[in-house]
Amino acid sequence: MTSSSADPGSLRPGGRTARVRAAVLQAAGDALAEGGLAGLDLADVARRAEVGRTTVYRRWGTPANLVADLLADMAEQSLPRTETGTLLGDLRANARLVQRTLADPRQGALFKAVIAAATCDDQAAAALRRFYDTRVTEWEPCARQAVERGELPAGTDTREVVRAVSAPLYYRLLTTGEPLDEAAAERAAVAAAAAARAGAFVSEAPEAP
Amino acid sequence: MTSSSADPGSLRPGGRTARVRAAVLQAAGDALAEGGLAGLDLADVARRAEVGRTTVYRRWGTPANLVADLLADMAEQSLPRTETGTLLGDLRANARLVQRTLADPRQGALFKAVIAAATCDDQAAAALRRFYDTRVTEWEPCARQAVERGELPAGTDTREVVRAVSAPLYYRLLTTGEPLDEAAAERAAVAAAAAARAGAFVSEAPEAP
DNA sequence: GTCATAACGGGACTCCCATTCCATTAGTGG
DNA sequence: CCACTAATGGAATGGGAGTCCCGTTATGAC
């Protein structure tokens, strides 16, 4: 037999197929933002997207798969980082970006739902990891430049510095009811910078045996 | 009419009712650890607990309610903190405790599932907040004592210091595939201590107008 | 010990999610 | 522009989760 069933949408990705995917992902995002992962009913998504139920079930199958595809789509829309010339300035810009994203009602709910999906399904978890890899890779240079400038000790795990900015913001989003305000972003940036300067993220001996 | 329907289990909480609750919560924890929130089927929980389906539906109704009750139960089993005499020592002890808990296959999966539930349901979210309030209140004194000792600047938000230890560990658990090892706990403790010493968690002017 | 009734448990019922079948629509290569 | 078929969408089907009814069990008060 020939290439009989290479999942739908891959052989004729143009025109209608692309429109359907865009509409479904948009609808899925809306549904997630409104009702969380529990509110993600594929039939409901189909209705919102004005697309046949069958199509959604055939192309995505499960809520987790749909979330995984949504994440892949989100990863492609990575924003360029801003450069300020100092570590604290760069981390502050990153913290503000993350804080604004998570504080936004739609985006915040969406991220919560996406993280919830990742705890249930391996495929969604893998997609989530790729998403954050992309984001960290985008921002990691700001820590690397700080090392080159001498602001941070040699041997600093630069990716870990960037993650240290996001961590408290996500922690607050998920475990407390307190609002994600500008002060929280500032604290996150200052704390990460201070910890990095103190060498908290130095993994091994800098160099030379 | 008299007090007709003050939810089941409240008027005769002794004997069988208590046994049923214990068995159901145990089974719910097992189910969550195995299949995540998605794998939490009330009928399945009833089967595991060797309890009638009707009972589970009547007393808890929804997966989210069941998770909320499970969290209330978990909050009661708070572990006493250890005191080492120094801020870093105390934070390290806390970090190791959190790290060991999250690294444990059953507990780790359980916490992931519980957080997922909190993103979907307000009642579960409130229960989760209470749980972390309890834990933070248990450990907050270690930061307060550090302020009294002069290790930390006056005006430090002591609860925020404790949360700063947990944040990177939870962030790693939820967003990366990397293992939660001892090194991660050490980094978390050192980073939180360094940030606190640098005054990252000072919220307002210490005192005096 | 005895009684009233809170709480439990089995079985039947309903409803909605997910799958399957087939006709219709519209990309893509010639 | 035409033919081929990938992809979609509507309708019928099946299965499993959640609800309801009512008899049974055992708690707690007297």
Sorted by where each starts, the structural domains of chain A and their CATH numbers stand as: 16-63 (1.10.10.60), 75-198 (1.10.357.10)
* Confidence band, pLDDT 50/70/90 cuts, at residue B78: confident
- Proximity of residue B12 CB to strand D below 7 A: yes
Q: Tens digits of per-residue pLDDT, A78-127?
A: 788 999 999 999 999 999 999 999 999 888 988 999 999 999 888 899 99
Q: How far apart are CA B150 and CA B184, in angstroms?
A: 27
pTM for this prediction: 0.91
If you measure CA to CA, which chain B residue comes closest to A128?
B175
Q: A170 and B172: CB-CB below 8 Å?
A: no
Residue A188: helix, strand or coil by DSSP? helix
**Which residue, B109, B123, B126, is CA-closest to B40?**
B109
Residue B209 has pLDDT above 60, yes or no: no
What would the 3-class secondary structure string for A138-179 be? HHHHHHHHHHHHCCCCCCECHHHHHHHHHHHHHHHHHHCCCC
Q: What is the radius of gyration, based on Cα positions, of chain B?
A: 20
The alpha helices in chain B, defined as continuous H runs, are 16-35, 42-49, 53-59, 63-76, 87-103, 105-120, 122-149, 158-175, 182-197
Instruction: Give the CA-trace dihedral at B149, B155, B159, B162, to 10 degrees.
Output: -50
Residue B90 pLDDT greater than 90, yes or no: yes
Distance B45 CA to D18 C1' (A): 14
Write out the two tokens for A39.
């509110």
**Does residue B26 surpass a pLDDT of 70?**
yes
**Rounded-to-integer distance, Cα A145 and Cα B7, Å:** 60
CB pairs under 8 A between A and B: 136
Confidence at residue A80, expressed as pLDDT on a 0 to 100 scale: 85
